[in-house]
């Protein structure tokens, strides 16, 4: 019954709007400036360990990097890690960090920082929203600085 109602809805039968298709995909990207993002509700907390709020998550995705990211085609690609290896038994993941990445205060990102973040995700007392994804991780071991 719902699909029949939607098919006959006058809103869906309205004339489609035209859009500007003269935008060149080859235009040079511009960097810098200010991003203005309209939201219906203000963010609640900008901490990736703790938030469940969708508006906050959208901002977190713009501000924080991960070891890897998903490209526009849905494939994994390096981000903070320049590469990674997965053991044959699929139980051990080894990440190799890019060198020369710095926090906003100028301190260099190291494997100790990454391990700390993942230990926080695993800590049941912090009650991270991602805890259930990481509570199966047996150990996080720092082998060297990167």
pLDDT in tens, 66-76: 999 999 999 99
CATH number at residue 140: 3.90.76.10
The structural domain count of the chain equals 1
For residue 108, what are the β-bridge partners?
102
Q: Is residue 142 part of a domain?
A: yes
Q: Is residue 116 part of a domain?
A: yes
Q: Is residue 2 part of a domain?
A: no
Q: Which of these, 69, 72, 81, 70, lies nearest to 113 by C-alpha position?
A: 81
Residue 132 structure tokens: 């259930």
Contacts of 119 (CB under 8 A, 6+ apart): 140
For residue 81, the Cα-to-chain-centroid distance in whole angstroms is 14
pLDDT of residue 45: 86
Q: Is residue 101 part of a domain?
A: yes
Q: Is residue 125 part of a domain?
A: yes
Q: Is residue 92 part of a domain?
A: yes
Report mean pLDDT in 10-residue bins for the chain, 146 residues: 35 47 65 82 84 84 90 94 96 96 94 94 83 85 96
Q: Is residue 124 part of a domain?
A: yes
HSE-CB at 78 with a 13 A cutoff on CA atoms is 12
Does this model's pTM top 0.75? no
Element (H, E) at 84: strand 81-86
Question: Domain residues for 144?
Answer: 79-146
Q: Is residue 133 part of a domain?
A: yes
Place of tokens 């489609």: 16
């Amino acid at each position: 019954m719902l699909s029949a109602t939607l098919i006959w809805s006058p809103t869906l039968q309205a004339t489609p709007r035209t859009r500007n298709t003269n935008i060149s995909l080859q235009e040079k990207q511009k960097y810098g400036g200010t991003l203005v993002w309209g939201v219906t509700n203000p963010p609640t907390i900008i901490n990736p360990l703790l938030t469940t709020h969708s508006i906050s998550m959208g901002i977190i995705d713009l501000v924080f990097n991960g070891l890897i990211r998903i490209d526009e085609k849905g494939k994994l690609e390096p981000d903070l890690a320049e590469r990674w290896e997965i053991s044959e038994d699929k139980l051990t993941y080894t990440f190799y960090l890019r060198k020369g990445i710095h926090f906003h205060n100028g301190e260099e990102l190291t494997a100790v920082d990454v391990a700390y973040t993942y230990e926080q995700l695993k800590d049941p007392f912090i009650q991270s929203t991602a805890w259930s994804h990481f509570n199966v991780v047996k150990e996080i071991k720092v082998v060297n600085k990167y």
